[in-house]
């Protein structure tokens, strides 16, 4: 096995063990090399020092937990192997230019400081088109569910399918454009979970009057969005969304402002597959580009 394959396997293993002890001796034992040889090999293949990379990825994971849960800062610090809140705060401020408390309370979410996971051979970062949308009125149904960060990907995939199935049962003809709107917030009941609100919606003229008491009018606020295109298997869509937040936004140094993430689906007219095997979709993230995004 060549060096690139060895490090590729190691990177995948590290990503799933960031909350576990990762002393260099332990990592070297996992890889089957001396720590000196492993350090040299890791730096040659990735261009980064292994210890610094692990620390940056742990802090990035901690940053996501700060934004999407209400867990105490100390709990997050200890999960990602910092021995005290003070140590964590110093390291966090060095990477993100602000304290964990300020990072959590900020209205916008700056991608600055997030260290994307290294994926060898997968350098095709999704590039957005920057567009400005006017206000848009839709009608739809909003549902809410709670999950941990670890459950988020699977939960969104399964529930997205169920929500669309339930909603489209009430629509005589499937519209050419379907909107999925979602945003999340820290759970008020469990501090390690987040509440995700997902709205299945269409433009008003596609609904046959008042179908349901739960149907509501939603006004999407206009503004600037980063629009990413996805055309591929349904099972890969949620991983694509995760890569936007984990890689594309940090690499492009964008700021996510308040507002819905918008999924704009284009159903295949001749498709009878339920759920569909293939998805054609534009994914829009509300963003802001100004001097603060270049911190």
The answer as to whether 272 is a domain residue is yes
Residues 82, 133 within the same domain: no
The answer as to whether 269 is a domain residue is yes
The answer as to whether 121 is a domain residue is no
3-state secondary structure string, 142-211?
A: EEEEEEECCCHHHHHHHHHHHHHHHHHCCCCCCCCCEEEEEEEEECCCCCCEEEEEEEEEECHHHCCCCC
The answer as to whether 113 is a domain residue is no
Where in the sequence is the domain holding 73, given as residue range(s)? 3-106
Residues 283, 186 within the same domain: yes
Residues 161, 278 within the same domain: yes
Residues 154, 290 within the same domain: yes
Residues 101, 176 within the same domain: no
The answer as to whether 133 is a domain residue is yes
Quick check: 284 pLDDT over 80? Answer: yes
Residue partners of 31: CB distance under 8 A and separation at least 6: 6, 10, 38
Residues 60, 164 within the same domain: no
Give the count of alpha carbons within 13 A of 54, CB side only: 22
Domains in the chain, number: 2
- Output the domain CATH number for residue 77: 1.10.10.60
| Average pLDDT value for the chain | 87
What mean pLDDT comes out for the span 6-29? 92
97, 98, 100, 103 alpha-carbon torsion, rounded to 10°: -100
Label residue 209 left, alpha or beta by phi (over 0 means left) and psi (-120 to 50 means alpha): left
A 10 A CB-CB count for 217 gives 10
Residues 172, 260 within the same domain: yes
Query: Where residue 123 falls among pLDDT bands split at 50, 70, 90?
Result: low
Rounded to 5 degrees, what angle do the CA atoms 142, 255, 179 make?
25
State which of 38, 71, 106 marks the end of a domain.
106
At 221-248, the pLDDT tens digits run 899 999 999 999 988 888 899 889 989 9
Strand ranges inside the chain, DSSP E: 109-110, 129-133, 136-148, 178-186, 193-202, 216-220, 223-233, 255-256, 261-265, 278-288
Query: Where residue 173 falls among pLDDT bands split at 50, 70, 90?
Result: confident
Say what the pTM is: 0.87
Residues 101, 150 within the same domain: no
Residues 73, 141 within the same domain: no
At 35-80, the pLDDT tens digits run 999 999 999 999 999 999 999 999 999 999 999 889 999 999 999 9
Q: In terms of residues, how long is the chain? A: 295
């Amino acid at each position: 096995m060549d060096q690139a394959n060895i490090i590729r396997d190691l990177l995948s293993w590290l990503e799933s063990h960031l909350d576990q002890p990762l002393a260099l001796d332990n990592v070297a034992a996992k890889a089957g090399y001396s720590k000196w040889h492993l350090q040299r090999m890791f730096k040659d293949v990735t261009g980064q020092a292994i210890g610094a990379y692990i620390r940056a990825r742990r802090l990035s994971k901690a940053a996501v937990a700060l934004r999407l849960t209400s867990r105490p800062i100390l709990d997050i610090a200890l999960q990602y192997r910092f021995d005290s809140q003070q140590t964590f705060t110093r390291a966090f401020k060095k990477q993100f230019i602000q304290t964990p408390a300020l990072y959590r309370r900020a209205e916008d979410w700056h991608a600055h400081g997030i260290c994307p996971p290294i994926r060898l051979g997968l350098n095709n970062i999704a590039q957005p088109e920057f567009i400005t949308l006017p206000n848009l009125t839709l009608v739809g149904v909003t549902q809410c569910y709670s999950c941990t960060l670890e459950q988020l990907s699977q939960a969104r995939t399964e529930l997205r399918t169920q929500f669309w199935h339930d909603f489209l049962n009430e629509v005589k003809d499937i519209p050419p454009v379907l909107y999925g709107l979602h945003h999340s917030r820290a759970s008020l009941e469990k501090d390690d979970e987040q509440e995700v609100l997902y709205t299945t919606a269409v433009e008003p003229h596609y609904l046959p009057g008042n179908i349901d008491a739960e149907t509501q009018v939603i006004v999407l606020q206009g503004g600037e969005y980063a629009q990413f295109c996805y055309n591929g298997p349904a099972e890969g869509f949620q991983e694509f969304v995760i890569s936007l937040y984990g890689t594309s936004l940090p690499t492009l140094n964008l700021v996510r402002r308040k507002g819905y993430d918008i999924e704009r689906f284009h159903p295949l007219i001749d498709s009878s597959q339920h759920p569909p095997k293939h998805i054609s979709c534009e994914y829009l993230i509300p963003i802001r580009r100004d001097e603060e995004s270049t911190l």
